[in-house]
Amino acid sequence: MNFSSDNAYGVAPEILEALQEANLGAAGGYGDDELTARLQTEMSRVFERDVIAFPVVTGTAANALALGTLVPPHGAIFCHSEAHIAVDECGAPAFFTHGARLAPIKGGGGKLDPCSVEEEISRFGKGVVHHSQPAAISITEATEFGTCYRVREIEALAALAKRHGLKLHMDGARFANAIAYLGCTPADATWRAGVDVLSFGATKNGALGADAVVFFHQEDTRDFEYRRKKSGHLISKMRFVSAQLVCALEEGRWLARAAHANALARLLAGELAGTAGVEVAHAVEANSVFAYLPDETIVRLRARGARFYDWGQSSGGRTLVRLVTSFATCETDIERFVAVVRPELVKSGRGA
């Protein structure tokens, strides 16, 4: 019953097998290898156009390197006030951009609303030397609250970005979960909608440590490679990172794993929604469930070994918690969890 994070469970078995296979013979270092070449091919196939994909080992590195390449030191980056880049990266975007400013904006369900973004942009005088200069919008897909931007919502933000001369970055740490939910093509949710660069996450979706910065336009990659090296993110035995990504993309494994996680989140949410005293807080579209649980239920769950994070302070006897499912979550994990939440439903022989 570990719902603490999609990082809690380890590595998908097929990924470990891919590492074994990658280990035959010698190969060039720093990406000069066959698997990294295949990664370009696979990514281009999946996105239906030539893309440039750079493997890295953390989502923070992917986001910060993408933004560092696109945003000058005097730039401003517009993002949701709960975005990972704003609250969970200890200032990595500022470090990699050499000082650019984050402009966090509130918005329902973890999503940015174009009107709010436009209003915030207008507060930064374009061309006024005293002000940080609007340079990029960053959105998270799926969002930090387990919701998904629809394609037309991404298009609206992209149109806004283009109108103001900004780049559009997508933090796709859970991109697989979003695509599995939306049912659209990866292309539709990204470059066709106007996204310039994507942090493609595989780590939360069963990889050991493998994300990729995917650029849709060659001209945007400028000095990316120097920035990656200079930040210590050029992996010497890169083939073992590329292997994880290739394995995920081949045969649609990335989407199958994400669909599984999503389905279990929906299952969990459905059970919770039907429970007295429990309230599900956001639309459950990807692999996270946010719910207000009675504090006594929370105590009981933890006593039974359930792991999850509080997402706010207790109020009125209830606390908002985050429950994350993953590729490795089983239906019995859900059943056991629900059994503790609703003990009256437990049949003989079930429960923790």
Q: Kindly identify the residues of this chain, within the stretch 214-233, that bind a copy of itself according to CB under 8 A.
A: 223, 225-233
CB of 83 to a copy of itself, least distance (A): 13
Among the listed residues 112, 214, 241, 248, the single contact to a copy of itself using CB under 8 A: 241
Q: Nearest approach, Cβ of 12 to a copy of itself (angstroms)?
A: 9
Q: How far is the CB of 57 from a copy of itself (least distance, A)?
A: 5
Contact flag: residue 89 with a copy of itself (CB under 8 A): yes
Nearer to a copy of itself, 74 or 300 (CB): 74
Pull the structure tokens for residue 98.
Answer: 């050499």
User: Of the listed pieces 10-18, 108-116, 186-194, 275-283, which binds a copy of itself according to CB under 8 A?
Assistant: 10-18
In the complex, least distance from residue 152 CB atom to a copy of itself, rounded to whole angstroms:
29
Tell me how far, at minimum, the Cβ of 78 lies from a copy of itself, in Å. Answer: 14
Tell me whether strands 101-105 and 75-80 are parallel, antiparallel or unpaired.
Answer: parallel
Instruction: Work out whether strand 167-172 and strand 101-105 pair parallel, antiparallel, or are unpaired.
Output: unpaired
- Answer for which of 34, 49, 99, 116 binds a copy of itself (CB under 8 A) is 99
Residues 113-152 that bind a copy of itself (CB under 8 A): 123, 129-133
Pick the stretch among 38-46, 56-64, 164-172, 272-280 that binds a copy of itself (CB under 8 A).
Answer: 56-64
Q: Which stretch binds a copy of itself (CB under 8 A): 100-108, 163-171, 247-255, 257-265?
A: 100-108
Minimum separation from the CB atom of position 135 to a copy of itself (A): 11
Q: Which stretch binds a copy of itself (CB under 8 A): 52-60, 155-163, 278-286, 341-349?
A: 52-60
Residue 161: which residues within 8 A CB-CB, separation 6 or more? Answer: 136, 137, 167, 168, 194
